[in-house]
Amino acid sequence: MTRCAEIVRIRPHAGKRAELLALRPRFTSEFRERATGFQRHSLYSLEGGDFLDIALWSAASDLDAVDETQGVLVEWYDLVEIVSMELADVLDE
């Protein structure tokens, strides 16, 4: 089974950057409890105000099983625009 990286470029909605950053710790803890195969993620601030959210998963199939209607995920999506999303096989760390 190949580990998977989910690479998501997000853009906070106008005036929502601080709210997004405040939600991040709860988002992480609740997501870790509910998402099978989720290992960890890191948030990177890019020039221009966008972020890269890079998550590591045990397998791509774990990502496919995520319930996108869970509360904290809905809150997160209300704060951001998903600019792009791609998957990559993890070759090393």
- Give the CATH number of the domain where residue 11 resides: 3.30.70.100
Closest listed residue to residue 69, CA positions, set 57, 77, 79: 77
d(CA 30, CA 47): 28
Quote the number of domains for the chain.
1
Look at residue 42 and tell me if it is in a domain.
Answer: yes
pLDDT at 1: 63
Look at residue 66 and tell me if it is in a domain.
Answer: yes
- 72, 31 contact by CB (below 8 A): yes
pLDDT at 82: 96
pLDDT at 46: 97
Look at residue 93 and tell me if it is in a domain.
Answer: no
pLDDT (tens digit, 9 = 90+) per residue, 28-78?
A: 998 888 888 899 999 999 999 999 999 999 988 887 777 777 788 889 999
Where would I find the beta strands (DSSP E) of the chain?
Answer: 4-12, 38-45, 51-57, 80-89
- Please state the pTM of the whole predicted model: 0.87
